[in-house]
C-alpha cells in the first residue's frame, strides 16, 4: 500500500530547525558511543592489556549502565521543574558526560596492568552514569516531540542523518593517536579525548536550550490522577518496580527491544574484528596501514549511511515501517555475508563493496526503531493512562545495554578464542586469521535475520497509530508538536 505524508496536520509538523537541534543530541550521543568502543584498542595495543580484561572492561560497566538507565528514566518521568522533565537532565548530563569521558583516557605512565584495569573500570562507572543522565532524557524527549506517525519518521530520520556524521570520527581515532606529534598511542588518545569532550558538551546541550516539551503538562496531570505523590521511599521503589515490570511485559515493546538488541549488538560484538582482520590478515600486521584502510572502509560505510537513512525514512512513509525494516536489515546482512569473499590480501579494495550494504544496518535501525517505540508509548498510554516516555526510553536502552555488556565481554572472549597474540605481530596462526573472519561474518548475519523475523510479527502500522491516537485525543484532547513557543 502506498502511503503519503500529505495527511499530516499542520500543528503536528516539526520545523527543520527543531529537527536539527534534536539531531545535535544524536551527534553527541553517537560520538560518545562510537569513540569509547574504537578507543579501547589502546588498552590492548597501547598498554598491552590482556584481551579478556579488555573485554571485561567493555562489558562490566554496561551492566552498571543498564541498572541506572531505568532509574533515571523513572526519575525523569516524575520530575517537575519550570524547564520541564527532560531538559535539566540533558543540559547538565551532557557536560558531566563530556568531562568524565575525557578523564577516562588520562592514564598515568608506568603503572601495572591491574592498575590500568581498575582505573578504567571505576572511571567507566562514573562516565556511564553521567552518560545516562544525558542520553535517557534526550531519547525520551524525542518520543514526545510530535504525535504524528509520519513526522516521527521524519524526526528520527533527521536525527539519525546527523548522528551518522559522528561515526566518521571513531574509525580514525586509532590512526590519529599514532600521529608523530605524540610520543605514543596512549598519549595521543589522552589528547584526542579532550577534543571529543568539547564536541560532546557543545552539541549535547543544544536540545536542552532550544527545544520545549510537548507532554510535560499532560504527564503531570495524568500522574496526579493515577498516583499518590506522597509515596515515600518504599512506595516509590514499589512504583518503579511495578512500572518496570509492566513495560517489559508489553509484548510489542519487548519485540522491539529484542530486535534492536540483535541488530545493534550483532554489530557491537564483532566491532573490533574488522580492524584485526584488516591489519593482521590483509596487511600482515602493519597496524598503520591496517588502521588507514579500516578507517577508509568504515568512513565509506558511514558516508553511505546518509543515503540509507534518507532512503529508509522516505520509503517507510510509503510501504510502512515493518517492511522497510526487513529490507534495510536484510541488505545489511547481505553486506556482512559478502565480507567473507571480499577479504583479500591481494586486493584490499574489494572490501569497499560491502560498505554500502552494511550502512543499512545501523542506518535503518536507528531511523525506524525510535519511531516505532514512540508508537508503542502511545499504545501503552491507552492501557496505563500515563505518559511514560522516560521509562520506555530507559528500558529500551536497558535491554540494549545489558546485551551490549554481554556482547562486548563476549567479543573479548571470542578474540581470545581465536588464539590471537599481540606479541606475534603479523605472524598470527592461520587458524587465528580464519576464526577472526568467521566471527566477523556469521554473528551479524544470524542476528540480523532473527531480528527481521521478530519485527514482521508486530502490529505497528499507520492504521493502528490512527486508532490509538483517536482514543487518546478523545480522552485528554489534542497536543501539537513541540516548538520554541510552547509554555513548558
Q: What are phi and psi of 302, to 5 degrees?
A: -65, -40
Number of domains in the chain: 1
Identify whether 433 is part of a domain.
yes
Residue 400: CB atoms within 10 A of its CB come to 24
**Euclidean distance between CA atoms 363 and 15, whole angstroms:** 22
**Euclidean distance between CA atoms 291 and 275, whole angstroms:** 7
CA-nearest of 117, 142, 110 to 25 is 142
**Euclidean distance between CA atoms 104 and 373, whole angstroms:** 32
Name the most confidently modeled range: 104-118, 260-274, 450-464: 104-118
Q: Are 40 and 353 in contact (CB under 8 A)?
A: no
Q: What is the pLDDT of residue 220?
A: 54
Q: Which residue has the higher pLDDT, 149 or 166?
A: 166
**CB-side neighbour CA atoms (13 Å) of 196:** 34
> DSSP per residue over 61-95, as a string?
HHHHHHHHHHHHHHHHHH---TT-SSHHHHHHHHH
**Euclidean distance between CA atoms 325 and 363, whole angstroms:** 10
Q: What is the pLDDT of residue 217?
A: 59
Section 30-42 average pLDDT = 89
**Euclidean distance between CA atoms 158 and 20, whole angstroms:** 7
Q: Which residue has the higher pLDDT, 207 or 427?
A: 207
Identify whether 21 is part of a domain.
yes
**Euclidean distance between CA atoms 361 and 366, whole angstroms:** 9
**Euclidean distance between CA atoms 229 and 9, whole angstroms:** 35
Q: What is the pLDDT of residue 484?
A: 41
Determine whether 227 is exposed, middle or buried from the number of CB atoms within 10 Å of its CB (0-12, 13-18, 19+). Answer: middle
Identify whether 3 is part of a domain.
no
Identify whether 313 is part of a domain.
yes
CA-nearest of 440, 272, 268 to 362 is 268
Q: What are phi and psi of 284, to 5 degrees?
A: 50, 40
Q: Are 160 and 26 in contact (CB under 8 A)?
A: yes
Segments forming the whole domain that contains residue 410: 15-213+242-476
Q: What is the pLDDT of residue 13?
A: 84
Identify whether 207 is part of a domain.
yes
Determine whether 153 is exposed, middle or buried from the number of CB atoms within 10 Å of its CB (0-12, 13-18, 19+). Answer: buried
C-alpha distance from residue 154 to each of 215, 312, 353 (Å): 19, 10, 29
542520553: which residue's cell?
135
User: Is the pLDDT confidence value at 234 over 70?
Assistant: no
* C-alpha cell at position 488: 513548558
Identify whether 236 is part of a domain.
no
561474518: which residue's cell?
441
User: Is the pLDDT confidence value at 266 over 50?
Assistant: yes
Section 32-43 average pLDDT = 89
Sign of the Cα pseudo-torsion (239, 240, 241, 246, in order): positive
Q: Which residue has the higher pLDDT, 74 or 129?
A: 129
CA-nearest of 360, 306, 328 to 165 is 306
Cα Rg, the chain, nearest whole Å: 22
Section 476-485 average pLDDT = 55
**Euclidean distance between CA atoms 35 and 38, whole angstroms:** 5
Section 160-173 average pLDDT = 85
* Secondary structure letter of residue 157 according to DSSP: H
Q: What is the pLDDT of residue 114?
A: 95
Q: Which residue has the higher pLDDT, 446 or 241?
A: 446
pLDDT tens-digit readout, 170-229: 878 988 998 889 988 999 999 999 999 999 999 999 999 999 887 555 555 655 555 555
Identify whether 227 is part of a domain.
no
CATH of the domain at 35: 1.20.1250.20
**Euclidean distance between CA atoms 231 and 258, whole angstroms:** 33
Alpha-carbon dihedral angle through residues 221, 382, 7, 253, given to the nearest 10 degrees: 110
Identify whether 34 is part of a domain.
yes
Section 469-487 average pLDDT = 63
Q: Are 39 and 385 in contact (CB under 8 A)?
A: no
CA-nearest of 423, 431, 427, 418 to 280 is 427
Amino acid at each position: 500500500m502506498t502511503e503519503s505524508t500529505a495527511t499530516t496536520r499542520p500543528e503536528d509538523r516539526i520545523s527543520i530547525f527543531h529537527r536539527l537541534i534534536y539531531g545535535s543530541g544524536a551527534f553527541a550521543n553517537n560520538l560518545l558511543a562510537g569513540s569509547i568502543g574504537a578507543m579501547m584498542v589502546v588498552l590492548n595495543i597501547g598498554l598491552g592489556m590482556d584481551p579478556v580484561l579488555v573485554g571485561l572492561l567493555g562489558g562490566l560497566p554496561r551492566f552498571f549502565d543498564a541498572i541506572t538507565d531505568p532509574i533515571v528514566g523513572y526519575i525523569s518521568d516524575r520530575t517537575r521543574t519550570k524547564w520541564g522533565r527532560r531538559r535539566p537532565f540533558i543540559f547538565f548530563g551532557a557536560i558531566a558526560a563530556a568531562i568524565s569521558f575525557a578523564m577516562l583516557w588520562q592514564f598515568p605512565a608506568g603503572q601495572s596492568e591491574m592498575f590500568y584495569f581498575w582505573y578504567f573500570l571505576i572511571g567507566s562507572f562514573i562516565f556511564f552514569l553521567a552518560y545516562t543522565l544525558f542520553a535517557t532524557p534526550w531519547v525520551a524527549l524525542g518520543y514526545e516531540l510530535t504525535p504524528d506517525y509520519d513526522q516521527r519518521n521524519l524526526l528520527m530520520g533527521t536525527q539519525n542523518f546527523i548522528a551518522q556524521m559522528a561515526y566518521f570520527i571513531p574509525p580514525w581515532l586509532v590512526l590519529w593517536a599514532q600521529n608523530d606529534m605524540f610520543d605514543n598511542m596512549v598519549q595521543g588518545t589522552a589528547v584526542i579525548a579532550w577534543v571529543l569532550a568539547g564536541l560532546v558538551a557543545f552539541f549535547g546541550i543544544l536540545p536542552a536550550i532550544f527545544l520545549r516539551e510537548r507532554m510535560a503538562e499532560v504527564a503531570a496531570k495524568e500522574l496526579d490522577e493515577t498516583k499518590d505523590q506522597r509515596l515515600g521511599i518504599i512506595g516509590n521503589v514499589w512504583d518503579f518496580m511495578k512500572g518496570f515490570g509492566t513495560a517489559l511485559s508489553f509484548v510489542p515493546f519487548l519485540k522491539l527491544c529484542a530486535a534492536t538488541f540483535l541488530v545493534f549488538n550483532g554489530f557491537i560484538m564483532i566491532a573490533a574484528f574488522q580492524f584485526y582482520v584488516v591489519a593482521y590478515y590483509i596487511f600482515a600486521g602493519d597496524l598503520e596501514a591496517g588502521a588507514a584502510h579500516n578507517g577508509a572502509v568504515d568512513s565509506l560505510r558511514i558516508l553511505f549511511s546518509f543515503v540509507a537513512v534518507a532512503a529508509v525514512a522516505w520509503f517507510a512513509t510509503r510501504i510502512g515501517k515493518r517492511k522497510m525494516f526487513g529490507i534495510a536489515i536484510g541488505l545489511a546482512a547481505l553486506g556482512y555475508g559478502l565480507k567473507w569473499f571480499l577479504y583479500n590480501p591481494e586486493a584490499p579494495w574489494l572490501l569497499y563493496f560491502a560498505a554500502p550494504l552494511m550502512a543499512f544496518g545501523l542506518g535503518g535501525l536507528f531511523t525506524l526503531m525510535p519511531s516505532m517505540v514512540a508508537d508503542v508509548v502511545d499504545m501503552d498510554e491507552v492501557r496505563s493512562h500515563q505518559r511514560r516516555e522516560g521509562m520506555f526510553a530507559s528500558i529500551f536502552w536497558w535491554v540494549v545495554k545489558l546485551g551490549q555488556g554481554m556482547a562486548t565481554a563476549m567479543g573479548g572472549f571470542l578474540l581470545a578464542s581465536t588464539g590471537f597474540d599481540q606479541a606475534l605481530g603479523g605472524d598470527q596462526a592461520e587458524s587465528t586469521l580464519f576464526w577472526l573472519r568467521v566471527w566477523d561474518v556469521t554473528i551479524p548475519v544470524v542476528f540480523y535475520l532473527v531480528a527481521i523475523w521478530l519485527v514482521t510479527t508486530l502490529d505497528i502500522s499507520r492504521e493502528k497509530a490512527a486508532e490509538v491516537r483517536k482514543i487518546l485525543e478523545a480522552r485528554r484532547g489534542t497536543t501539537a508538536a513541540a516548538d520554541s513557543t510552547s509554555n513548558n
